[in-house]
Amino acid sequence: MNRKLSVIIPAFKEGNRIIKNLENLEAELRILNRPYEIILICDGCLDTYTAAKTMSSSTVKVFYYEQNMGKGHALKCGADKTTGDLVTFIDADMSIDPSEIDTFIKLSDIYNADIVIGSKRHPQSKVNYPVLRRIQSFAYQMLIAVLFQINVKDTQTGLKLFKRDVIRDVLPRAVVKAYAFDLELLVIAHHLGYRKVLEAPVSIKAQFSTTTSPRAAWRALWDTAAIFYRLYFLHYYDEAHD
């Protein structure tokens, strides 16, 4: 089944680098031999929009808004513009090789998965991940397992693939704009009964810092607590919202 693929890229301050990254992404998508579209959302960064606009075509669509609103907001805007049967998110820096999208699609087809997510903790993943950072990540994922009963080892890796129906159900309920957006999507999907979630190996070229900054860690924990409150006390995710 040759389902159309929509690729959403949230971008912030990528500048001219975005041109090469879009070229590499499109080269990989052509190999898939399926209809596709690339939707780039420039999240309050005019420099990225100006550079990327030169790449606009029938398959590359570039959008911009003035105020920086965060990754979650950018992805929601992009999802509203998709027409594909499968929707994937990938970070603009392409630190995860876009060739891996092919593996995600194959896993989705074979297992009829609702969601396929990249996992740094998959045994076949290739990631330069300092020990202290691994401990932080493991502790956070243990916290998530206790709070939400989600059986995944890594919620935060940038590459994810969704069936279109799942995205349509999940995104109108999402609130978080930045630090815990990936987690919120998985929590909502789990809450709505989408339980076929597969973790796939990834190769990440970026060098991770030894630890997460205190500010980022605090924001992630705050957003995580807010998701817990919305899920169990407000029952906010029971209905879609504008």
Flag the least confident range among 93-97, 115-119, 231-235: 93-97
**What is the reported pLDDT for 207?**
60
Averaged pLDDT, 97-120: 96
- pLDDT over 90 (residue 210): no
CATH number for the domain that contains residue 23:
3.90.550.10
Rounded to the nearest 10 degrees, how much is the dihedral formed by the CA atoms of 229, 199, 160, 235? -20
Domain count within the chain: 1
Instruction: Give residue 20's pLDDT.
Output: 96
pTM of the model: 0.93
Asked if 85 and 163 touch (Cβ cutoff 8 Å), the reply is yes
pLDDT digits (tens, 9 = 90+) for 49-83: 999 999 999 999 999 999 999 888 999 999 999 99
| Residue-level pLDDT at 209 | 58
Q: Quote the domain boundaries for residue 222.
A: 5-238
